[in-house]
């Protein structure tokens, strides 16, 4: 099966590193023109330069601060006045770790703005073009914690669950327009985010980060954590014509870690 996204414009959130970067690179390798979207301008400049050289295409980047919703809204509204998007990958940095008893109402509001409002806004701005052309792909990067909550990620558990249920509702409404809406449920991947969470967990448990990682790998049936490139392959498929009959789904990518159906 040859996945070709030639002629498609993709907007990928959180794409200056980790899973977001891997997704952006794979979409570009599949022929899409990619707009990176993140805070780190220097890193995005480097990635765009590499992609332009490797793929012979013109890619671009958009500097945003997902944690400042009003600023984010202004930047995105301006972007969509001049650009259209065929493939939207909703992805942001995660909120602060911590259990339910450690968080207050303001923490939940900040997480809601970061994880939910930014996704809804970007999607609403992207949809008119998709509906007009009767083709579109919306892919939300979520977490396995929406099915099996992780007690040290109370904010992420709560708000990402809202994202995937919203996405299910949206999928029904736009299916007739040739637009698919899917969410990927992220397991353990070799990223800076995992390293940061492992450091905090190690501190709390008075063990080394290496021990935390070894324990994490032992939990996964494949006995390893995922490579970001592997995530890119899944998203490229969901963005393709070959995935036109897949919508309203939550697709785990976790090496078999989820125990629930």
Catalytic residue among 61, 152, 231, 233: 152
Beta-bridge mates of residue 9: 33
Beta-bridge mates of residue 252: 185
Other CB atoms within 10 A of residue 130 CB: 23
Q: Which residue has the tokens 């400049």?
A: 45
CA atoms within 13 A on the CB side of 182: 24
What does the radius of gyration of the chain's CA atoms come to, in whole angstroms? Answer: 18
Q: At what angle do helices 105-112 and 154-174 cross, to 10 degrees?
A: 40
Phi and psi for 39 in degrees, rounded to 5? Answer: -90, -30
Task: Flag residues of the chain having pLDDT under 50.
Answer: none
pLDDT the model gives residue 53: 82
> By the 8 A CB rule, do 144 and 252 touch?
yes
> By the 8 A CB rule, do 32 and 58 touch?
no
Beta-bridge mates of residue 98: 153
Burial of 163 (0-12, 13-18, 19+ CB in 10 A): buried
Domains assigned to the chain:
9-190+227-253 (3.40.50.720), 192-225 (no CATH)
**DSSP, res 116:** I
The strand pair at 250-253 and 9-13 is best described as: unpaired
Other CB atoms within 10 A of residue 17 CB: 18
Residue 108 structure tokens: 């939940």
> By the 8 A CB rule, do 140 and 184 touch?
yes
In the chain, what is the straight-line distance between the N-terminal and C-terminal CA atoms, in Å?
28
Beta-bridge mates of residue 183: 140, 250
pLDDT the model gives residue 90: 98
Residue 152 annotated in active site: yes
Query: In sequence order, which ranges of the chain are alpha helices (DSSP H)?
Result: 18-29, 41-55, 69-82, 105-112, 118-133, 154-174, 192-205, 209-219, 228-238
Kindly report whether the global pTM for this prediction surpasses the value 0.85.
yes
pLDDT the model gives residue 185: 97
pLDDT the model gives residue 164: 97
pLDDT the model gives residue 167: 98
């Amino acid at each position: 099966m040859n996945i070709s996204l030639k002629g498609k414009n993709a907007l990928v959130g959180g794409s200056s590193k980790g899973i977001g970067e891997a997704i952006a690179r794979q979409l570009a390798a599949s022929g899409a023109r990619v707009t990176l979207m993140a805070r780190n301008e220097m890193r995005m400049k480097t990635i765009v330069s590499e992609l332009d050289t490797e793929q012979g295409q013109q890619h671009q980047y958009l500097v945003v601060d997902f944690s400042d919703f009003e600023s984010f809204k202004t930047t995105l509204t301006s972007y969509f006045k001049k650009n259209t998007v065929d493939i939207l990958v909703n992805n942001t940095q995660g909120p602060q770790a911590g259990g339910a008893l450690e968080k207050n109402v303001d923490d939940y509001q900040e997480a809601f703005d970061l994880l939910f409002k930014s996704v809804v806004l970007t999607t609403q701005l992207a949809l008119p073009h998709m509906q007009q052309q009767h083709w579109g792909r919306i892919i939300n990067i979520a977490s396995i914690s929406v099915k099996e909550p992780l007690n040290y990620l109370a904010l992420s558990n709560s708000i990402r669950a809202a994202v995937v249920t919203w996405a299910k509702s949206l999928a029904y409404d736009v299916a007739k327009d040739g637009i698919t809406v899917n969410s990927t449920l992220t397991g353990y991947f070799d990223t800076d985010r995992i390293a940061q969470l492992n450091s905090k967990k190690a501190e709390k448990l008075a063990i080394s980060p290496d021990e935390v990682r070894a324990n994490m790998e032992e939990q996964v049936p494949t006995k390893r954590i995922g490579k970001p490139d592997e995530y890119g392959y899944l998203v490229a498929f969901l963005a393709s014509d070959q995935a036109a009959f897949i919508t309203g789904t939550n697709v785990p990518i976790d090496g078999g870690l989820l125990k629930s159906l």
